Amino acid sequence: MAKRKEFLIVGLGGFGFALAKAISKRGGVVFAVDKEERLVEEIKDFVEVAARLDATDYKALKSFGVENIDIAIVCIGAVEENLLTTILLKKLGVPKIFSRAVSPLQKEILKALEVTRIIEVEQEFADAFALSLVEKDVFKQISLSEGYSVVELKVPEFFVGKRLKELDLRRKYK
């Protein structure tokens, strides 16, 4: 049996809390941390481990064992805490770090830090929601990286029953 991925969720505000529950529900092993005891208590029944931890403290992160995590997701909204946590996770050798950006400057700093992915919660939701409102035949879109997306859409009638090779989409829709 393959090892289940281990996720560290740092920051249990609205986004972090919902993300921790969603990953756990889908079979991921979630370690959820926040400096507020109340939030840790609220999430503890939904995740593998919930702990009160100041993620801006190098020694606390190291003793928690974050270097063994597959993916760390920094959901902290406060810019300075978010950036410091991200830097410490990189220093501790976490292989994949996703970090939330709430401002253009923070996004630029996270790019410079070369995080695996920058999460812009409000922008990503707004883009997806706007697409669903404006494009009646598009059901869902997932951005993979800049310029690349996976899109679920209504298939045009003339596609039905044909093979991709027959449709010759690459030539017709460059």
pLDDT tens per residue, range 19-58 = 999 999 999 999 999 999 999 999 999 999 999 999 999 9
- Residue 40 belongs to domain with CATH number: 3.40.50.720
pLDDT tens per residue, range 67-113 = 889 999 999 999 999 999 999 999 999 999 999 999 999 999 999 99
Same domain, 111 and 37: yes
Domains: count for the chain: 2
Residue 1 counted as domain residue: no
Domain of residue 71 covers: 6-119
Same domain, 59 and 28: yes
Same domain, 107 and 148: no
Cα(107)–Cα(114) distance, integer angstroms: 11
Same domain, 71 and 132: no
What does the pLDDT read at residue 63? 95
pLDDT tens per residue, range 126-162 = 877 787 788 877 777 766 666 777 777 777 787 888 8
Same domain, 113 and 143: no
Give strand pairing partners of 20: none
Same domain, 51 and 131: no
CB 150 within 8 A of CB 144: yes
CB 127 within 8 A of CB 149: no
